[in-house]
Amino acid sequence: MNSLAILFSLILSVSAETKAPALNSQQLDQFIIQTCSLQSNEKSCLEKMTTIKKGLTTEELLKQAPALKIDSSIQTTIINDPSHFTSQYYCLAIYNGVVSEAQVPADIFPYVVYGFSFNTKSLGTYKKWLNSKAARPCVESLKILGLTPTPLTGEKEFNIILNPITFLENGTEEAFLDTAIRNYNHERLHAIYAFKSAKTKVAKLWKSLTKGEQEQFKSEHLHYNFNNKDILYREFFSFTFESAPEEAYTFLSNTINYSQVKKATCKSCLADDDDFKAKIQALSQLSPKDLLAKLEEEKIKVLILSSGRKNPSKLFYWGQIREDKGHLTQISAIEGAMGKTLCQGEKPESLDATTIVLASDSPYSTLIHEYIHVMQIKKDVSWCPVSKRLWTEKPAATEIRMVRDREWDARLVLWNLLTGPQMNVEDQIIVAEGILRESEGRKNFDPNAARFISDNKIQLYLQQKIEEYKKAILK
């Protein structure tokens, strides 16, 4: 159950005792205020949730999602009203096994279910079920809320229902868009999975996983009935490809193992590339001057610009090697920025070559970090047009995810370099802090990030390094 659901359950527990109807407009306003008061960016949360309350069209919400071949067979509906969502779809969700009444009571349903999908052909048997004895508990639970099940129809073969209220867990526009697109992708993948040929290949892919990988997936999605193999395979397929649904078609048209699938969902990622890891490990052993020379041999331009900040007195910083004319603010206005990678032609400073910009007070690891981004660019040529456009345009949800995946990937690579001879305590703190920050941003879509933090005890590592810094540098 997500944080919104917990808050809603507290609000609704009072009304449930008195058999009150679902939230009215005034109660929804109260929910918005209470929820946003818990968020770090309260203003953004209020603005976004108010927009949701007014209503969003399908086009506004989903126009940034990648187009898929299956789209012409899908009818997508967005429901912004909790009562409407419950009256129309709660009993259908029960019938299709999406939720159970024990796990998700009717009054909580619109605040915990992101959405679901169904085949129009199933509506005939659903209508018969709705009039049967088996449906009585569901129908009665709606009556308690002053609601009745609504007859359903579908114009296309597949139907997707999305519930935007639940997309607001973090109260930020970026999190909202990412969750919306990801859940839309997830439900579209259900439609793709419905074909027999897809089911056969997904079943084989699942069976190719190790026992540990299978158990890990199940532990990350405990609320599903995985005793039903069809549900298990369907959800495995959709969770695997929801961040890159177009790759699902590549998988279905080729013989690809699970290791290749994981790599395919992040086009630029390098953390699992053994050849690259060996190369970056060797580079990280070089002295600062030798590393700089080696990168420039690869036709990578490196600019070291003044940050205007005080340089470290006892640790290495790139301004010791050289400092070019210019100030970091001409590239980045982000406070505390240490580096930036520019595609060729992206800015005047990079007209003739891919360029790494370093702050004069940045530590050794910053150049390694930016070099990883250079290699990501070479691996995924689709990044540079996006990067150039983002100087003047707001990023789409899929582009935000591209940025996050690139940063997470770079930090995973850096984590394995921290014991190298050139890495000092400042490098170790910056990398650990960056991993924790990126992990927090991934908590809604990447459970492996939190597991990585836990398995590697990164929070404890960071605390120890901060204490080491205080004793050695600040004494």
Tens-digit pLDDT profile for residues 335-386: 678 899 999 999 998 999 999 999 999 999 999 999 999 999 998 877 888 8
What is the structure's pLDDT at 40? Answer: 57
Centre a 10 Å sphere on the Cβ of residue 447 and count the other Cβ atoms it contains. Answer: 16
Q: Which residues contact 211 (CB under 8 A, 6 or more apart)?
A: none
Per the CB < 8 A criterion, the answer to whether 39 and 168 are in contact is no
Residue 206 to residue 214: CA distance in whole angstroms: 8
Q: Is the pLDDT of residue 10 over 60?
A: no
Would you put residue 440 in left (φ > 0), alpha (ψ -120 to 50) or beta? alpha
What is the average pLDDT score of the chain? Answer: 81
**Is 23's pLDDT higher than 60?**
no
Cα(212)–Cα(217) distance, rounded to whole angstroms?
9
Lowest-confidence region among 13-17, 232-236, 246-250: 13-17
Query: What pLDDT sits at residue 42?
Result: 64
User: Which residues have a Cβ under 8 Å from the Cβ of 385 and sit 6 or more positions away?
Assistant: none
**Distance between CA atoms of 405 and 268, rounded to whole angstroms?**
8
The token duo for 249 is: 């078609």
> Of 300, 363, 314, which is closest to residue 336 (Cα–Cα)?
363
Per-residue pLDDT at 269:
85
Return the closest-CA partner of residue 257 out of 244, 240, 274: 240
For the residues 190-204, what does the mean pLDDT come to?
90
Least confident span in 217-221, 255-259, 278-282, 336-340: 255-259
Mean pLDDT of 98-119: 86
pLDDT band for position 448 (cuts 50, 70, 90): confident
pLDDT in tens, 387-441: 888 888 877 767 777 888 899 999 999 999 998 899 999 999 999 999 999 988 8
Q: Is 469 helix (H, G, I), strand (E, B) or coil?
A: helix
- Residue 199: pLDDT above 50? yes
- Token pair for 294: 């080696």
Q: How many CA atoms lie within 13 A of 465 on its CB side?
A: 19
Residue 77 and residue 95: Cα distance in Å, rounded? 19
User: What pLDDT does residue 430 have?
Assistant: 93
pLDDT band at 474 (very low <50, low <70, confident <90, very high): low
**For 129-138, 154-163, 172-181, which range has the lowest pLDDT when averaged over its residues?**
172-181
Measured distance CA(359)–CA(311) in Å, rounded: 10
> For residues 358 and 320, what is the distance between their CA atoms, to the nearest angstrom?
12
Mean pLDDT confidence for 169-191: 76
pLDDT of residue 248: 86
218-227 — which CB contacts under 8 Å span 24+ positions?
A: 220/447, 223/103, 225/97
Give the DSSP per-residue string, 378-415: HH-TTHHHHHHHTTTSPPPHHHHHHHHHHHHHHHHHHH
User: Residue 22's pLDDT is what?
Assistant: 38
45-54, 154-163, 303-312: which has the minimum mean pLDDT?
Answer: 45-54
Q: Which of 323, 206, 195, 203 is nearest to 258 (CA)?
A: 206
* Identity of the residue numbered 90: Y
Percent of the chain with pLDDT over 70: 80
Q: What is the DSSP letter of 327?
A: B
SS3 at position 358: strand
Q: How far apart are CA 352 and CA 186, in angstroms?
A: 41
| pLDDT for residue 6 | 36
Q: For residues 59 and 394, give the distance between their C-alpha atoms in angstroms, rounded to a whole number.
A: 17
The residue among 337 and 169 whose pLDDT is bigger is 337
- Going across the sheet that includes 355-359, the strands are 301-305, 355-359, 339-342
Q: What is the mean pLDDT of residues 464-475?
A: 82
What mean pLDDT comes out for the span 433-453?
Answer: 83
Kindly tell me if the per-residue pLDDT of 17 is higher than 50: no
pLDDT grade, residue 9 (50/70/90)? Answer: very low
pTM of the model: 0.58
Q: Which of 4-18, 165-179, 414-428 has the highest mean pLDDT?
A: 414-428
pLDDT at 56: 46
Residue 297, pLDDT score: 94
Task: Return the H-helix or E-strand segment holding 249.
Answer: helix 246-253
**Most confident of the ranges 58-67, 70-79, 364-373, 465-474:** 364-373
CA nearest to 167, candidates 22, 47, 49: 49
CB atoms under 10 Å from CB of 408, counted, come to 22
Quick check: 176 pLDDT over 80?
A: no
Kindly report which listed range (29-33, 104-108, 452-456, 460-464) carries the lowest average pLDDT score: 29-33
Residue 324 above 90 pLDDT?
no
Alpha helices in 416-446 (DSSP H): 425-441
Percent of the chain predicted with pLDDT > 90? 36
End-to-end CA distance of the chain: 47
